């Protein structure tokens, strides 16, 4: 079994726009979540790491241990955004962003806090459906509207 799963986005040119950085992070978390959920045994991660490569060749890395192991894209996105905001980048020329899901465990061994939030349950069911559609028709057949460009 894999010990970590990673995804990376390289920008065509050095990117200054934080909105485009966040869009790339959203795309990365969607990809990571799908990879984790669609593996043979299904996995969840305990740790998420963000690496930012800047135009001046500096590399910034931040890591966060999640409150509970997850493969839920919304939880991964919230954590990735928090890591990005924690860097405090202002006018940084970003060349690439990468996310790495670490400390993977089988999904059936993970515990999850029950939620009475119907939106969370709806999002998880929707994720399962989109995963099946992507498995059958290809990874780019369905995407979030905010990723369309």
CA 40 to chain centre: 19
Of residues 95, 111, 99, 93, the one with CA closest to residue 44: 111
The residues, ordered by sequence, that sit 6+ positions from 23 with a Cβ below 8 Å of its Cβ are 146, 147, 149
Of residues 132, 68, 55, 133, the one with CA closest to residue 96: 55
Percent of residues, the chain, with pLDDT higher than 70? 94
pTM: 0.84
CATH class of 4-113: alpha beta
pLDDT by residue (tens digit) across 92-111? 899 999 999 999 988 888 77
Query: What band does 124 get if pLDDT is binned at 50, 70 and 90?
Result: confident
Delimit the domains of the chain by residue range.
4-113
């Amino acid at each position: 079994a894999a010990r970590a799963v990673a995804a990376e986005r390289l920008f065509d040119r050095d990117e200054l726009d934080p909105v485009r950085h966040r869009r790339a992070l959203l795309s990365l978390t969607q990809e990571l979540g799908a990879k984790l959920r669609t593996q043979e045994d299904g996995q969840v991660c305990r740790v998420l790491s963000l690496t930012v490569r800047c135009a001046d060749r500096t590399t910034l890395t931040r890591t966060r241990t999640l409150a509970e192991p997850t493969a839920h894209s919304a939880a991964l996105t919230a954590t990735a955004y928090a890591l990005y905001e924690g860097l405090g980048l202002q006018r940084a020329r970003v060349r690439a962003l990468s996310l790495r899901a670490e400390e993977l465990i089988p999904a059936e061994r993970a515990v999850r806090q029950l939620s009475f939030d119907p939106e969370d349950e709806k999002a998880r069911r929707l994720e399962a459906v989109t995963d099946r559609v992507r498995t059958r028709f290809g990874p780019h057949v369905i995407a979030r509207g905010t990723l369309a460009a």
